[in-house]
């Protein structure tokens, strides 16, 4: 195999990259990035890899979630607090409900670049480049040219986000004992409400609540383990965040990076870049992933077959799990690959409403989750985690859930620039449902 360097992806076929008009400005931006300090530490990255190895064996469970795309305008205290709170609360519900340690991985502090299905779109009769995320261009149709200065701006937005997360965790924000944080008013069904209330009471009465968030272990973010992740899409940025250390090359822009379903082709640039970094990495596996291709993905990205190194994140659509998951599990079992399986029940379940908004039905999200849990169980495989697009806010982007949101109500608070996210109530209910299912299966 060819030798790897942080830039050995250059020259290979690559997709989903912006067309910058000024290469010198890109060069200046990446040089600036290389001179700036890392956002995370190699020790934290190694620790996450070890924890993901536990998840691959069913000894821990990964909760990965956050915005489809973070926006620079949302860099404020309240938004960060809300995102942290929902992730921590869901993890506490899972830990207590299912009696399993939860590994929290936020789609946060760097999730700024998006793959798109088309390079341009027509807005008010004018053809403009599509919005590729704040890492690249502006959502404002008059400012869609890719701007290299955003490479550096994204770093500072990520750094500021992560700094406040570390401050909140270090300062004891993780103490969610106050009942005001646990208003279950969103649960309509009385029997569910009673069951959830019982679980919450037990959580709140627990003598050592902080144990539930793992606060006593030597955490990677102060006392509480909390990791960051994003799709490693924009390779000039990822290359610039790569640091050579005595134990190998690390991308120190995030703890965990994944390759999207549109950029995971073997022999192309993204797979080449990812194979050389020591971080734990993910690969999205959609319907077009052939089982033989999956075997080669495992061999290429995890040649030493190290547990915790590779997470396979399946995303098929609720109706296609039974057709596709068994073949993927079989491929992995046949080559003896150690992988951590995760389920993204969001990206295969997107549809457009009559009003022209992208949405997802909570019933399909739950349907995919439950079919994937069935599939792993039937094949003697382990589902090690879940991957959601969600927010701590009361947005109306996905339909269904405890509030029974309908298509017509989505316009009320539809904020995403990208994919529809679960809101607070929908996320919490899903956490309760997963906890119940994991406990039942245990
Ligand atoms: C995403 O996670 O936002 C995404 C684009 O997913 P996928 O690559 O699975 O389509
Ligand atoms: Co998305």
pLDDT at 96: 83
Pocket of ligand 1 contains residue 144 by CB under 6 Å? no
Structure tokens that stand for 374 in this block: 């069935």
Q: Which two tokens stand for residue 169?
A: 């965790």
Question: Is the domain covering 23-441 a CATH 3.40.50.280 domain?
Answer: no
CA of 423 to the centre of ligand 2 (A): 14
Helix axes 190-205, 424-441, angle to 10 degrees: 80
Question: How would DSSP label each residue in 46-85?
Answer: HHHHHHHHHHHTTSSEEEEEE-SS--GGG-SHHHHHHHHH
Q: How far is the CA of 302 from the centre of ligand 2 (A)?
A: 25
Q: Is 44 in the pocket of ligand 1 (CB under 6 A)?
A: no
**Ligand 1 pocket check for 257: Cβ under 6 Å:** no
C-alpha 321 to ligand 2 mean position (Å): 19
Does 132 contact ligand 1 (Cβ within 6 A)? no
Is 298 a pocket residue for ligand 1 (Cβ < 6 Å)?
Answer: no
**pLDDT recorded at residue 218:** 42
CA 409 – ligand 1 centroid, Å? 25
Closest-lying ligand 1 atom to the alpha carbon of residue 387: 2
Ligand number with the minimum distance to the CA of 387: 1
Distance 389 CA to ligand 2 centre (A): 7
What's the gap in Å between 286 CA and the centre of ligand 1?
Answer: 9
Residue 347 CA to ligand 1 centre (angstroms): 6
Select from 15, 110, 284 the residue to mutate for testing ligand 1; criterion: most ligand atoms less than 8 Å from CB: 284
Measured by CA distance, the residue closest to atom 8 of ligand 1 is: 260
pTM of the model: 0.96
Atom of ligand 1 nearest to the CA of 263: 8
Question: Given ligand 1 and candidates 261, 311, 418, which is best to mutate, with the most ligand atoms within 8 Å of its CB?
Answer: 261
What is the pLDDT at residue 170? Answer: 82
The domain ranges of the chain are 23-441
Q: Ligand 1: which atom is nearest the Cα of residue 418?
A: 3
Which residues does 344 contact at the CB level (< 8 Å), separation at least 6?
284, 313, 314, 315, 386, 387, 388
Two tokens at 155? 């770093």
Q: Are 296 and 348 spatial neighbours (Cβ–Cβ below 8 Å)? A: no
The bound ligand whose nearest atom lies closest to the alpha carbon of 416 is 2
- Closest ligand 1 atom to residue 419 Cα is 3
SS3 278: coil
102 CB-contact burial (10 Å; exposed 0-12 / middle 13-18 / buried 19+): buried
Q: In this structure, what are the phi and psi dihedrals at residue 277, rounded to the nearest 5 degrees?
A: -95, 150
Cα four-point dihedral sign 419, 422, 310, 298: negative
Rg (CA), the chain: 21
With residue 294 as reference, give the H or E element that holds it.
helix 291-301
Would the CB of 150 count as within 6 Å of ligand 1?
A: no
- Alpha-carbon span 142 to 106, nearest angstrom: 31
Tens-binned pLDDT, residue by residue, of the chain (442 aa): 679 999 999 999 999 999 999 999 999 999 999 999 999 999 999 999 999 999 999 999 999 999 999 999 999 999 999 999 999 999 989 988 888 999 999 999 999 999 999 999 999 999 999 999 999 999 999 999 999 999 999 999 999 999 999 999 888 776 677 778 888 888 888 888 898 888 888 877 764 555 555 555 443 334 568 999 999 999 999 999 999 999 999 999 999 999 999 999 999 999 999 999 999 999 999 999 999 999 999 999 999 999 999 999 999 999 999 999 999 999 999 999 999 999 999 999 999 999 999 999 999 999 999 999 999 999 999 999 999 999 999 999 999 999 999 999 999 999 999 999 999 999 999 999 999 999 999 8
**Ligand 2 midpoint to CA 60 (Å):** 25
* Nearest alpha carbon, ligand 1 atom 3: 68
Distance 419 CA to ligand 2 centre (A): 5
CB of 101 within 8 A of CB of 95?
yes
Tell me, using a 6 A CB cutoff, whether residue 358 lines ligand 1.
Answer: no
| Ligand 1 atom nearest to 260, measured from its CA | 8
Instruction: Tell me how far apart the alpha carbons of residues 2 and 107 are, in angstroms, rounded to a whole number.
Output: 32
| Ligand 1 pocket check for 260: Cβ under 6 Å | yes
């Amino acid at each position: 195999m060819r030798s790897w360097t942080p830039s050995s992806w250059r020259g290979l076929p690559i997709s989903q990259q912006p067309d910058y008009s000024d290469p010198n400005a890109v060069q200046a931006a990446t040089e600036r990035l290389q001179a700036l300090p890392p956002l995370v530490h190699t020790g934290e990255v190694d620790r996450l890899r070890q924890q993901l190895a536990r998840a691959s064996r069913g000894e821990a469970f990964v909760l990965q979630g956050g915005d489809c795309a973070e926006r620079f305008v949302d860099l404020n205290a309240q938004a960060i607090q809300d995102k942290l709170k929902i992730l921590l609360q869901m993890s506490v519900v899972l830990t207590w409900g299912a009696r399993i340690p939860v590994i929290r991985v936020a789609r946060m502090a760097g999730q700024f670049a998006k793959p798109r299905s088309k390079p341009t779109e027509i807005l008010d009769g004018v053809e403009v480049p599509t919005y590729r995320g704040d890492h690249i261009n502006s959502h404002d149709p008059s400012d869609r040219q890719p701007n290299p200065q955003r490479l550096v701006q994204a770093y500072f937005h990520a750094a500021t986000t992560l700094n406040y997360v570390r401050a909140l965790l270090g300062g004891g924000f993780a103490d969610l004992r106050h009942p005001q944080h646990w208003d279950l008013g969103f649960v309509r069904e009385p029997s569910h409400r009673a069951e959830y209330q019982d679980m919450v009471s037990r959580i709140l009465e627990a003598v050592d609540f902080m144990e539930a968030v793992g606060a006593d272990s030597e955490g990677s973010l102060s006392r509480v383990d909390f990791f960051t992740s994003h799709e490693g899409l924009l390779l000039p940025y990822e290359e610039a965040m790569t640091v050579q250390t005595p134990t190998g090359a690390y991308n120190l822009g995030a703890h965990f990076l994944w390759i999207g379903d549109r950029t995971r082709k073997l022999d192309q640039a993204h797979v080449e870049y990812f194979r050389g970094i020591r971080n734990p990495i993910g690969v999205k596996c959609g319907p077009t992933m052939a089982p033989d291709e999956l075997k080669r993905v495992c061999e290429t990205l995890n040649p030493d077959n190290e547990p915790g190194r590779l997470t396979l994140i399946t995303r098929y659509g609720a109706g296609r799990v039974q057709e596709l998951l068994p073949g993927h599990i079989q491929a992995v079992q046949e080559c003896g690959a150690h992988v951590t399986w995760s389920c993204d029940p969001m990206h295969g379940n997107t549809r457009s409403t009559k009003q022209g908004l992208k949405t997802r039905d909570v019933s399909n999200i739950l349907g995919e989750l439950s079919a994937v849990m069935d599939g792993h169980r039937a094949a003697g495989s382990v589902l090690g985690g879940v991957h959601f697009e969600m927010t701590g806010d009361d947005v109306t982007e996905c339909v269904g859930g405890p509030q029974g949101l309908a298509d017509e109500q989505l316009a009320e608070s539809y904020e995403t620039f990208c994919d529809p996210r679960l809101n607070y109530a929908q996320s919490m209910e899903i956490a309760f449902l997963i906890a119940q299912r994991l406990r039942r299966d245990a």
